[in-house]
């Protein structure tokens, strides 16, 4: 799968660059193809400590206690070992996709937030992708079936 990165905001598009960036509005010309833009674990069956701190952990809850029927909750935690949120090292944002189609960006600030997110999805099935961007170690991604 080809990955295209917006040179203005860092948004990642899959398969092809969009006409307009859904995050910042940049034109298609702002995108560059970058096959190394998203980091992958060296051995997916045996993650090292850095990978455990960067790869999103996604938990799907079929029962939504807030929005009611038709809602699926997704809890996203950056890292099975929670990533630090310090002024010099933090998660800048978490982007979410359904079946590789962008649905939302959540900006985080250092020191006052934990790198966790809860969202209420209106889709009963598909693949949820969480992509995080660490200011030091770059982009990491995980996906689960809803």
**pLDDT of residue 45 exceeding 90:** yes
Bridge-based pairing of strands 91-98 and 101-107 is antiparallel
Q: What is the pLDDT of residue 72?
A: 95
Angstrom distance (rounded) from CA 50 to CA 65: 34
Domains defined for the chain, CATH in brackets: 1-36 (2.20.28.10), 46-145 (2.60.40.730)
16 pLDDT tier (thresholds 50, 70, 90): very high
112 pLDDT tier (thresholds 50, 70, 90): very high
pTM (two decimals): 0.95
Dihedral pair phi/psi, residue 28, rounded to 5°: -55, -30
Q: What is the DSSP string of 3-19?
A: EEEETTT--EEESS--S
Which residues make Cβ contacts (< 8 Å) with residue 47, sequence separation at least 6?
A: 41, 55, 80
Which residues make Cβ contacts (< 8 Å) with residue 29, sequence separation at least 6?
A: none
Tokens (6 digits) for 23: 């995050």
Which residues make Cβ contacts (< 8 Å) with residue 85, sequence separation at least 6?
A: 91, 108, 110, 111, 112, 113, 114, 115
**pLDDT of residue 137 exceeding 90:** yes
Arithmetic mean of pLDDT over the chain? 97
What does the pLDDT look like over 76-101, one tens digit per residue?
A: 999 999 999 999 999 999 999 999 99
Q: What is the pLDDT of residue 64?
A: 86
Angstrom distance (rounded) from CA 20 to CA 55: 28
Angle, CA 88 vertex, CA 82 and CA 93 arms, to 5°:
55
Q: What is the pLDDT of residue 55?
A: 98
């Amino acid at each position: 799968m080809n990955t295209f990165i917006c040179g203005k905001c860092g948004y990642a598009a899959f398969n092809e660059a969009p006409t307009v960036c859904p995050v910042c509005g940049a034109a298609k010309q702002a995108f560059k193809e970058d096959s190394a833009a998203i980091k992958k674990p060296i051995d997916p069956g045996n993650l090292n400590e850095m990978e455990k701190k960067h790869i999103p952990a996604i938990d799907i809850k079929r029962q939504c206690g807030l929005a009611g029927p038709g809602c699926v909750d997704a809890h996203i935690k950056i890292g099975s070992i929670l990533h630090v949120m310090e002024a010099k090292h933090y998660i800048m944002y978490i982007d979410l996709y359904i079946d590789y189609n962008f649905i939302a960006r959540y900006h985080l600030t250092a020191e006052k937030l934990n790198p966790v997110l809860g969202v209420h999805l209106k889709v009963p099935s598909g693949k949820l992708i969480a992509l995080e961007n660490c200011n030091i170690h770059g982009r990491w991604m995980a996906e689960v079936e809803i």
